[in-house]
Amino acid sequence: MTLQTTTPTPERFMRRHEVEAITGYKTSAIYQKMADGSFPKAVKLGTNRVGWIASEIHAWIEQRIAESRNPSNKAGM
């Protein structure tokens, strides 16, 4: 039996267009949700550049899925 080791995936930044594509939200909704604390905050990458930490976006998506599958959560229906 051979043990397989998994190399952790290095963290990366996602740009706005990618965040929009995987969440279905447009820019205004993303920034509104960031402002009210219901979406991961962007990280400043440069003078006019921001990105989102990929693992935070994926965790946010997983949380939305879990909440929608929870039978006691009437708001998700």
pLDDT of residue 10: 82
pLDDT of residue 50: 97
Mean pLDDT, the chain, whole residue set: 89
Mean pLDDT, range 12-18, rounded to an integer: 97
Please report whether residue 2 resides in a domain: no
pLDDT of residue 9: 73
Band of pLDDT at residue 72, cut at 50, 70 and 90:
confident
How many Å apart are CA 27 and CA 31, to the nearest integer?
A: 6
CB 76 within 8 A of CB 70: yes
How many Å apart are CA 6 and CA 50, to the nearest integer?
A: 30
- Domain interval for residue 41: 13-70
Please report whether residue 29 resides in a domain: yes
Please report whether residue 3 resides in a domain: no
pLDDT in tens, 16-44: 999 999 999 999 999 999 999 999 999 99
What CATH number is associated with residue 61?
1.10.238
Number of domains in the chain: 1
